[in-house]
């Protein structure tokens, strides 16, 4: 028995049952996003393969969106629990679920995963960035490159959930991120996968994508655990 499990016994993040982080009962209630449910990251309407509709494309828009699960049940609880208490094993198991539940996701070593950064003050307060932990694990599992030195969060924002109006949310996300252009000139970036834990309004990923594209990146896809 692992020494740590004496003090922090493994409990299901969904129902609290002892033994596993994702018990067999909760696992069966997980709802993967089906291929018929993928959406365009610009308009939010149905789109094949999560590819942005040609008519929704701009110079700074995302090229597509991949989300693994519906943000409900045990998945929602797992993401929340990682946000408040970082447990390596939960991160690993959640990423395993993502990869094994999705037949279309391929190992791709010329893609780069970049997690959505937290503002330095929030990082200090929380101690870690959950998008970074999850993204890093995903990149290891899929043999993709992983970079945290490209994108920076330069402005602190009000959490999106606290903002009721769409206009507020759009204003809130303006000029939030900046790119390290020196770093970007030094590496030959191809497709960038912008990673976040949850897609809600998409404002965060859209804003970060727009900065990357203004810096010359040709293709940017969004990827989230849940939606």
The residues of the shown chain that bind Zn ion, judged by CB under 5 A, are 12, 14-15, 17, 23, 26, 40, 42-43, 53, 56
Torsion of CA 41, 142, 186, 190, to 10 degrees: -50
In angstroms, rounded to a whole number, what is the distance separating the alpha carbons of residues 219 and 221? Answer: 7
Q: Compute the least distance from the CB of residue 134 to Zn ion, in Å.
A: 20
In angstroms, rounded to a whole number, what is the distance separating the alpha carbons of residues 66 and 198? Answer: 11
Q: Which CB atom, from 9 or from 216, has the smaller least distance to Zn ion? A: 9
Q: Compute the least distance from the CB of residue 142 to Zn ion, in Å.
A: 26
* Strand 219-226 relative to strand 64-69, pairing: parallel
C-alpha of 13 from chain center: 19
Q: Compute the least distance from the CB of residue 198 to Zn ion, in Å.
A: 20
Q: Which CB atom, from 147 or from 206, has the smaller least distance to Zn ion? A: 206
Phi and psi angles of residue 74, each rounded to the nearest 5 degrees, phi first: -65, -30
Q: Using CB atoms within 10 Å of the CB of residue 111, give its burial: 0 to 12 exposed, 13 to 18 middle, 19+ buried.
A: buried
Phi and psi angles of residue 69, each rounded to the nearest 5 degrees, phi first: -130, 165
In angstroms, rounded to a whole number, what is the distance separating the alpha carbons of residues 47 and 227? Answer: 15
Q: Compute the least distance from the CB of residue 19 to Zn ion, in Å.
A: 9
Q: Which CB atom, from 23 or from 193, has the smaller least distance to Zn ion? A: 23
Q: Which CB atom, from 53 or from 80, has the smaller least distance to Zn ion? A: 53
Q: Using CB atoms within 10 Å of the CB of residue 189, give its burial: 0 to 12 exposed, 13 to 18 middle, 19+ buried.
A: buried
Q: Which CB atom, from 26 or from 66, has the smaller least distance to Zn ion? A: 26
- Which residue in the block uniquely carries the two structure tokens 């929704």? 56
Q: Which CB atom, from 26 or from 192, has the smaller least distance to Zn ion? A: 26
Q: Compute the least distance from the CB of residue 127 to Zn ion, in Å.
A: 27
Q: Compute the least distance from the CB of residue 110 to Zn ion, in Å.
A: 27
């Amino acid at each position: 028995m692992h020494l740590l499990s004496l003090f922090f016994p493994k409990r299901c993040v969904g129902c609290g049952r002892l033994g596993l982080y994702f018990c067999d009962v909760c696992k069966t209630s997980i709802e993967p996003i089906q291929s018929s449910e993928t959406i365009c990251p610009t308009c939010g309407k149905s789109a094949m393969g999560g590819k942005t509709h040609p008519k929704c494309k701009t110079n700074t828009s995302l090229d597509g969106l991949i989300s693994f699960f519906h943000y409900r049940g045990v998945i929602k609880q797992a993401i929340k629990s990682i946000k408040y208490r970082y447990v390596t094993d939960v991160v690993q198991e959640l990423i395993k679920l993502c990869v094994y539940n999705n037949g279309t996701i391929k190992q791709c070593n010329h893609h780069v995963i970049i997690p959505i950064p937290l503002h330095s003050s929030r990082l200090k307060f929380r101690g870690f960035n959950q998008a970074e932990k999850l993204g890093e694990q995903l990149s290891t599992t899929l043999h993709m490159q992983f970079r945290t030195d490209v994108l920076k969060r330069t402005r602190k924002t009000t959490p999106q959930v606290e903002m009721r109006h769409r206009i507020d949310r759009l204003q809130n996300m303006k000029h939030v991120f900046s790119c390290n252009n020196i770093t970007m000139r030094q590496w030959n970036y191809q497709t960038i996968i912008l990673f976040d834990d949850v897609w809600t309004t998409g404002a965060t990923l859209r804003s970060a994508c727009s900065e990357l594209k203004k810096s010359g990146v040709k293709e940017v896809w969004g990827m989230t655990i849940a939606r």
